[in-house]
Chain A
C-alpha cells in the first residue's frame, strides 16, 4: 500500500509541473494569438481604409476629369446651330483641347460619322468613320443615344491608334438625334489625371476594368495585374462609363508577414514563461523528492542504528533520565543481566545497581541532567537476575541537546568482570611479589641508564645499612671495591649487549654505609627496553659469610697444597741428599776394595769419615725440619721480642765484635708476639747469623732491627748492608731446602728453610727484599 501511494504521489508530483507548464503555454499562446489577431484585423482595416481613401481621391479626380470632358463637349455642342452646322470649331476646339490637359482630342460626329476632329493630324484617320455602323463599338453609342446623356466608351483601340476613352455626348436638334460631340481622353492620360499612381505608391497596384458591351465580360486594361481578389481589393464603379477601378495591395499578405515575428515572439515568450513556470513548479517537487529521499535515508539509518543497537556486541540501554526507568535494552544488555526485555523494561536502573555504587552514579547523573557534563563513564556493579554481581563499565550520553529539556540517555554497558578479576588477580600477584621482594634477603634495585635508582627494596637498609641510595651523584663504582670494579664494568657492558639476559654470579665487594666491605653475589639484568622497568634490575645477595667460609676453605686448601708441595719437595730433597751420600759411600767402598795401596785406602777411610759426618749433619737438619712440620701442638705464648733479641745478640756478641758489625736495635719494648720460645730464638739467631755471615767484605756490616705494627699485626724487620742476593734469579728458591747462593763452603741451604717453616708454623709470614751489593731486608709479619 505504502509503495503505491508513494508511486502515485511521485507521478503526480512529476506530471503536475509539466501539465501546468503546458497549460500556461497554451493559454499564453491563445491570448497572444488573440491579440495578434486583433492586431491583424486592425492592420487589415487600416489597409482597407487607406485603399478606400485612395479610391475616394481617385474617384474625385476622375469625376473632375470627366466633368471637364463633359463641359468641353457641351461647349462644342452649343456651337452647333440650328442648321446642324458647327460654326467655329476650328477656333473653339484648340481652345478646349490645349487649355484642358484632361482632354486629348475632340470630335464632331454628326449621324455617327466623324467629320471634324482636333487635333487633326493625330486623328485624321478617323475622319468619315461611322461609328454607328461598327458593331464592335456602336453598342455604347447607342447606349448614349438611349440615355440621352454623355456616356464614356472604351477604353478602346482607336482607328488612328492608341488606347483611349471616348466620351460621346448625343446632340438632339428638335428632339431629333443629330449626332455626337466626342471627347477623347488618352487612357494613360486619364490614369495620370486620377493620380492613382501617386496615391498607390509602392504599396498598392490598381486595375481598370469594363464590362465588354458585346461579350458582357469584364475586361482589364492594365498590365501586370491579375484579376483582383474581391476579398482584399477595393473598387470604384464609375457609372458614366461602366468602369470599375480596383486598388490592390502589391503584397496582399503584408499584414500577415508583419505579425509573423510578433507571433514567433509570442510563441517564444509563452514557451519561455511556461518553461519558467514548469521549472519553478518542479523546484518544490524536486525539494519534495529530496525530502522524500532523505526521509528514506533516515528510515534506513534508523534501521541501521536499530540493528546496531540490537546486534551490538556491547550492551546498550536507553533510560528515562528523570525516572531512571529502562526504556529500551538491547539484546546484549539483556544477555549480560540475563533478564528478558519485558522484565527489564520499566525497571529502575537503580534497582539493578549495587547500592555501594549508587551515590557516585546518581551524582554523575545529576551533573548530566544539569548539562554540566555531556557524558560520563563509570565502573560499577550490576545485579544479574540470579542475584550475582558483575562488574560493568558504563558510558552514558544524553539524548537531549544542551538547553533542551532532560529526556532520556543512552548507556553503553560493557561487562568487565573478567578484566576486573584479572586486575584484582594482578594486584594480588603484585602484592605477593612485592612481599616476596620486600621480605627477601636480597637487595633489589632498579637503576636506569643515568644511574638513577628508581627502586630499592627494604632489604637495602637491612643489609647495607644505607637508608636510601642513589648512584647519580657518585656513580656505582664508588660503592665497589677497586679490585672488583673491572668485573662490574665488563658485566655492565655485557648487559648492554644482551638485554633481558640475567648475568648472574657477579661476585663483588660492596661498601656498606659504615665503610665496611661485604661480599655480594650480584645478578644484573638489562631491562632498559622493558616498559615498566626501564632500567637495570640488580639483585644483590650478601654472601660475606659464605665467601669468608669459601676463602677460609681456599686458604686451608692452599695451605694443604703448600704443605703437600713442601712435603713432596722435602721428600725429593731428602732423597736427593741421602742418595748423594749413599752413592758416595758405595763408590768409596768400591774404590776401597779395589785399592791395594794402604795410603790410598787410608784416604778412602778419611773420605768415608767425611761422608759419615755429612750424613749426620743432613740427618740432623732433616730432623729439625721434620720436627717443625710435624709438631702441630707446639706450645705458643706471648713473647717479648725485644728480650729475645737481646739474648740472641748476647750469644752472638763475639762474632759481632770480631766482624766489627754495628747493631741498630729499634725494636720497641712493647712488641709482644704469640710465638714458640725456641722458634723465636732460632729465627732471630738465623737472621742475625745470615746478616753477619753474608756481609760485604768492602764495608763493615750494619744490621738494623726494627719492629712496628702494620694492619694490626706486628712486623719485625732485619735489614743488613751485606752482599745481597739476585732475587730475579733466585727469588723462588730463596727459602728452599739445600738452596745455596754463595761461594761460602758453610752454606748448607738449611737455615732460611727452617726459619721460614718455623714462622709459617706460628701463622706468620716472611718476605725478603734484596739487591746484590746493597743489602738484604727480611720482614717477618707475626700472626
Chain B
C-alpha cells in the first residue's frame, strides 16, 4: 500500500504545484493539503488511523507558523517521529531557520523550494 502524505503551506500556487508533483511521483497514495496549520492539526487529530507517513511543513505562514505547528504536532502526537517523516519545506535561506531545526531532532530534514519529483520519490522510498 502506498503511503500517505500531508502538505501544510499557505501558498496557494505552491499547493497546486505540489499536488501535481505528488501525482507525478506516484509513490504516495492518499494526500492531504492544508493552507492553514490550524486546519491541518484538527484534521490530523481526527484521521489518526490513517496518519500520513510524510508531512511537508512550511515555515512562513500567517496566524500559526511552521514551528508553532510543529510544537503542536509533537504534543498532540507523542509518537510523531515514529509514525511519520516530518520535513521542513521553505524557500527561506535564512540561517536562523536552519539553526532552529536543530531544536527538533526528530525532524527528518530541511527541503528547499522549488520541490522536484525526484525529491518526493526519494522521500517516498525512505518511508518508515
Q: Which residues on A are within 8 Å of B, measured CB to CB? A: 572, 575-576, 579-580, 582-584, 586-588, 590-591, 594, 607, 610-611, 614, 738-743, 747, 749
- Cβ of B69 to closest chain A Cβ, rounded Å: 13
Q: Contact at A740–B62, with CB atoms within 8 Å?
A: yes
Q: Contact at B17–A576, with CB atoms within 8 Å?
A: no
Which A residues lie within 8 Å of B93 (CB)?
A: 572, 575-576, 579
Q: Contact at B113–A739, with CB atoms within 8 Å?
A: no
- Which B residue sits closest to A603, measured CB to CB? B16
Partner of B14, one of A572, A576, A580, A739: A580
Which A residues lie within 8 Å of B63 (CB)?
A: 740-743
- Which B residue sits closest to A585, measured CB to CB? B114
Which B residues lie within 8 Å of A579 (CB)?
A: 91-93, 113
Docked complex Cα distance between A572 and B11 (Å): 18
Q: What's the count of A-B pairs with C-beta under 8 Å?
A: 65
Partner of A588, one of B17, B24, B94: B17
The 8 closest A-B pairs by CB, nearest first: A740-B62, A583-B114, A579-B91, A583-B113, A580-B91, A587-B114, A587-B17, A572-B94
- Which B residue sits closest to A748, measured CB to CB? B62
Q: Is the C-beta of B31 less than 8 angstroms from some C-beta in chain A?
A: no
Interface string of B76-116 (1 = CB under 8 A from A): 00000000000000111110000000000000000001110
Which A residues lie within 8 Å of B20 (CB)?
A: 591
Which B residues lie within 8 Å of A572 (CB)?
A: 92-94
Docked complex Cα distance between A8 and B14 (Å): 148
Q: Contact at B114–A586, with CB atoms within 8 Å?
A: yes
Q: Contact at A576–B60, with CB atoms within 8 Å?
A: yes
Q: Contact at B62–A580, with CB atoms within 8 Å?
A: no
- Which B residue sits closest to A591, measured CB to CB? B20
Interface string of B14-27 (1 = CB under 8 A from A): 10110011001000
- Cβ of A734 to closest chain B Cβ, rounded Å: 12
Q: Is the C-beta of B36 less than 8 angstroms from some C-beta in chain A?
A: yes
Which B residues lie within 8 Å of A607 (CB)?
A: 13, 16-17
- Cβ of B85 to closest chain A Cβ, rounded Å: 21
Which A residues lie within 8 Å of B115 (CB)?
A: 587
A611-B60 contact given A583-B91, A586-B114, A591-B20, CB 8 Å threshold: no
Which A residues lie within 8 Å of B14 (CB)?
A: 580, 583-584, 587
Docked complex Cα distance between A575 and B115 (Å): 17
Interface residues of B in 49-64 (CB under 8 A from A): 60, 62-63
- Cβ of A418 to closest chain B Cβ, rounded Å: 76
Docked complex Cα distance between A322 and B13 (Å): 129
- Cβ of B120 to closest chain A Cβ, rounded Å: 12
- Cβ of A746 to closest chain B Cβ, rounded Å: 11
Which B residues lie within 8 Å of A582 (CB)?
A: 91
Which A residues lie within 8 Å of B16 (CB)?
A: 607
- Cβ of A694 to closest chain B Cβ, rounded Å: 13
Partner of B62, one of A576, A588, A742: A742
Given contacts A584-B114, A588-B13, A741-B63, 14 further A-B contacts (CB under 8 A): A572-B92, A572-B93, A575-B94, A576-B92, A579-B92, A582-B91, A584-B17, A584-B113, A587-B114, A590-B114, A607-B16, A607-B17, A614-B13, A747-B62
Docked complex Cα distance between A587 and B117 (Å): 10
Which A residues lie within 8 Å of B91 (CB)?
A: 576, 579-580, 582-583
Docked complex Cα distance between A743 and B63 (Å): 8
28 A-B contacts, Cβ less than 8 Å apart?
Answer: A572-B94, A575-B92, A575-B93, A575-B94, A576-B92, A579-B91, A579-B113, A580-B60, A580-B91, A584-B17, A584-B114, A586-B114, A587-B17, A587-B21, A587-B114, A588-B13, A591-B20, A594-B24, A607-B17, A611-B13, A614-B13, A738-B60, A739-B62, A740-B62, A740-B63, A741-B63, A743-B62, A743-B63
Partner of A610, one of B13, B21, B62: B13
- Which A residue sits closest to B59, measured CB to CB? A576
Partner of A580, one of B21, B36, B94, B113: B113
Docked complex Cα distance between A91 and B115 (Å): 222
Which A residues lie within 8 Å of B114 (CB)?
A: 583-584, 586-587, 590
- Which A residue sits closest to B39, measured CB to CB? A743
- Which B residue sits closest to A588, measured CB to CB? B17
- Which A residue sits closest to B113, measured CB to CB? A583
Docked complex Cα distance between A772 and B24 (Å): 43
Which B residues lie within 8 Å of A742 (CB)?
A: 62-63
- Cβ of A610 to closest chain B Cβ, rounded Å: 6
Docked complex Cα distance between A572 and B94 (Å): 6
Docked complex Cα distance between A305 and B21 (Å): 127
Which B residues lie within 8 Å of A743 (CB)?
A: 36, 62-63
Docked complex Cα distance between A747 and B62 (Å): 9
A741-B62 contact given A579-B91, A583-B113, CB 8 Å threshold: yes
Which B residues lie within 8 Å of A575 (CB)?
A: 92-94
Which B residues lie within 8 Å of A576 (CB)?
A: 60, 90-94
- Which A residue sits closest to B20, measured CB to CB? A591
Docked complex Cα distance between A458 and B15 (Å): 79
Docked complex Cα distance between A591 and B25 (Å): 12
Which B residues lie within 8 Å of A749 (CB)?
A: 62
Docked complex Cα distance between A738 and B65 (Å): 12
Which A residues lie within 8 Å of B113 (CB)?
A: 579-580, 583-584, 587
- Cβ of A575 to closest chain B Cβ, rounded Å: 6
Docked complex Cα distance between A562 and B108 (Å): 35
- Cβ of B16 to closest chain A Cβ, rounded Å: 6
Docked complex Cα distance between A634 and B60 (Å): 33
- Cβ of A464 to closest chain B Cβ, rounded Å: 49
Which B residues lie within 8 Å of A747 (CB)?
A: 62
- Which B residue sits closest to A571, measured CB to CB? B94
Which A residues lie within 8 Å of B92 (CB)?
A: 572, 575-576, 579
- Which B residue sits closest to A747, measured CB to CB? B62
Which B residues lie within 8 Å of A611 (CB)?
A: 13
Which A residues lie within 8 Å of B90 (CB)?
A: 576
Q: Contact at A584–B13, with CB atoms within 8 Å?
A: yes
Which A residues lie within 8 Å of B13 (CB)?
A: 584, 588, 607, 610-611, 614
Which A residues lie within 8 Å of B36 (CB)?
A: 743
Docked complex Cα distance between A9 and B31 (Å): 150
Which B residues lie within 8 Å of A740 (CB)?
A: 62-63
- Cβ of B8 to closest chain A Cβ, rounded Å: 15
- Which A residue sits closest to B94, measured CB to CB? A572
- Cβ of B41 to closest chain A Cβ, rounded Å: 15
Docked complex Cα distance between A610 and B14 (Å): 12
Docked complex Cα distance between A580 and B11 (Å): 9
Which of A575, A576, A610, A614 has the most CB atoms of chain B within a 10 A radius of its CB?
A576
- Cβ of B119 to closest chain A Cβ, rounded Å: 11
- Cβ of A73 to closest chain B Cβ, rounded Å: 193
Which of A584, A607, A611, A738 has the most CB atoms of chain B within a 10 A radius of its CB?
A584
Docked complex Cα distance between A580 and B89 (Å): 11
Docked complex Cα distance between A325 and B54 (Å): 125
- Which A residue sits closest to B38, measured CB to CB? A743
Which of A575, A583, A614 has the most CB atoms of chain B within a 10 A radius of its CB?
A583
Docked complex Cα distance between A588 and B92 (Å): 19
- Cβ of B43 to closest chain A Cβ, rounded Å: 16
A591-B62 contact given A579-B93, A580-B91, A583-B114, CB 8 Å threshold: no
- Cβ of A635 to closest chain B Cβ, rounded Å: 35
Docked complex Cα distance between A738 and B11 (Å): 13
- Which B residue sits closest to A729, measured CB to CB? B68
Docked complex Cα distance between A747 and B20 (Å): 27
- Which A residue sits closest to B58, measured CB to CB? A580
- Which B residue sits closest to A738, measured CB to CB? B60
- Cβ of A591 to closest chain B Cβ, rounded Å: 5
Docked complex Cα distance between A594 and B20 (Å): 11
- Cβ of B99 to closest chain A Cβ, rounded Å: 13
Which B residues lie within 8 Å of A586 (CB)?
A: 114
Which of B17, B93, B94 has the most CB atoms of chain A within a 10 A radius of its CB?
B17
Which B residues lie within 8 Å of A587 (CB)?
A: 14, 17, 21, 113-115
- Which A residue sits closest to B36, measured CB to CB? A743
- Cβ of B56 to closest chain A Cβ, rounded Å: 14
Docked complex Cα distance between A644 and B29 (Å): 59
- Cβ of A587 to closest chain B Cβ, rounded Å: 4
Which B residues lie within 8 Å of A588 (CB)?
A: 13, 17
